Amino acid sequence: MSFLFLVAFTLISAFLLSKYLSRPRTRSTLPGGSLGYPLIGETLSFLRAQREDRGPEWLEERISKHGSVFKTSILGSRTVVIIGQAGNKFVLGADDGVLAAKQPLTLQTIGGKQNILELTGYRYRLVKGAMMTFLKPESLQKYIKEMDELVKTLFLTETKGRDTIQAVVFMKELTFSIASNILFGIKDDYTREALFDDFSLAFKAIMSLPVNFPGTVHWRGRRARSRIVNKILPIMEKRKEELLKGIRSPSSDVLSCMLELRDENKQPIADDMIIDNFVTLMIASHDTSAILLSLMIWKLARDPEVYKKVLEEQLDIVKKREGKEQKHLTWAETREMKYTWRVAQELMRMIPPVFGSFRKALKDTSYGGYDIPKGWQVLWVACGTHMNKDIFDNPTEFDPSRFENPSKPIPPYAYVAFGGGLHTCIGNEFARVETLTIVHNLVTTYEWSQVNPEEVITREPMPYPSMGLPIKIKPRVLTT
């Protein structure tokens, strides 16, 4: 009995001593909140709320107890969550030396440690510059015809002999094909399809428990990333040869452009950095667009008034082509789709594709009277301002007109569908053109209806119609 007492006393003493030694040596004022269970923190409840599209409610439970700044532990890291416009500005506008774009362990594992979301300073500017060469409006104008042709072809292939399609899967395949062809010059169908399957697995692992055990989502995602790397390395080697022989130009595609990049010492950037940014840009350039397009199809099927206005705008563009030898969409025509894009903006306000984003504190800092210790991650969330009635009148009402010369201007860092500050999404214009091109072809060529009218939205980790959005689809008969 005395031996058991001695063991228990030793264990308790060791535990108390470790807690004492781990305490900060200086007085710290952390925000209120709970770090949850050891290791997993509150990750399970957070992910469950996301799957059930109750992320705002998960936040509100904690805001009601602790205020607009609170602590938690999710996705493997202790976290300070900051809600509101001022908080968005603090996080998104912070210097990289204070709050760096260091993502959770799961995103680092899939995207790689040298992806653009992790880079700072010179390396960030270098990679961003290469990507912007292909994502800026001047470049996108050259892609419109190819994008339009590709969309038309894939729509015909998908709907041939079928009256029902899975809209979510098709939008993912469609946007992946556009990114592969236009941004990366990967035009081989077999390679593209194999990459698509692996990217689908990798993407699911981004918001998962970081448990690398056989059978887990995280484990499958890591294996998928390895296969992606194995597929892209031979493509990179071939591109290097083509660039050396002058067969291919650095301006041909993003991959070729990055292969020609030189660092501050005039040396080629490492293959690892190119691969990490290929993976990250591919995910960013197709999955977020697929989300928005799926939500557009879902919304237009459920809201006849909005659908009618979108259809009228798109048919008016077709009508203006009469008498012209014009077969493809033009850049100028996408600029005329103002109402259609306002619908997209309003959808992203109410159902933001990205729930929020993380930063990592590189040094001790503070916000709102609370300390943020070095090494902790900081999370901002879109719904904190998107659904704020002091910023948007009647925020639960779907109203695209709020983006048309609003009487109440939207303040900076309040509408953050594409982030803000230095790390504003560099693909926002690409997403706009891609969305409008696909919606134009869809509404002018087809009619559709939901198979499951009561289908709700879920997040795994991004928001999608929970049943994959099966739709009945048929060719539209245009009347003169």
Residue list for the binding site: 425
Instruction: Please count the other Cβ atoms lying within 10 Å of the Cβ belonging to residue 268.
Output: 14
Annotated binding site for heme: 425
What whole-number distance in Å separates Cα of residue 115 and Cα of residue 101? 10
Write out the two tokens for 112.
Answer: 């790689």
Three-state DSSP at 473 gives: strand
Instruction: Please count the other Cβ atoms lying within 10 Å of the Cβ belonging to residue 161.
Output: 4
Distances in Å between the Cα of 450 and the Cα atoms of 202, 350, 454 are 29, 21, 9
Distances in Å between the Cα of 77 and the Cα atoms of 81, 154, 327, 354 are 12, 42, 53, 19
What whole-number distance in Å separates Cα of residue 407 and Cα of residue 387? 18
CB 86 within 8 A of CB 116: no
Three-state DSSP at 56 gives: helix
CB 249 within 8 A of CB 284: no
Instruction: Please count the other Cβ atoms lying within 10 Å of the Cβ belonging to residue 51.
Output: 15
What whole-number distance in Å separates Cα of residue 392 and Cα of residue 388? 6
Closest CA to 355 of 39, 105, 93, 52: 52
Closest CA to 73 of 307, 296, 377: 377
Whose tokens are 């009508």? That residue is 319
The Cβ-side half-sphere exposure at 446, using a 13 Å CA radius, reads 24
What whole-number distance in Å separates Cα of residue 171 and Cα of residue 469? 10
Q: Are strands 164-166 and 470-475 parallel, antiparallel or unpaired?
A: antiparallel
Write out the two tokens for 27.
Answer: 């007085």
The Cβ-side half-sphere exposure at 128, using a 13 Å CA radius, reads 15
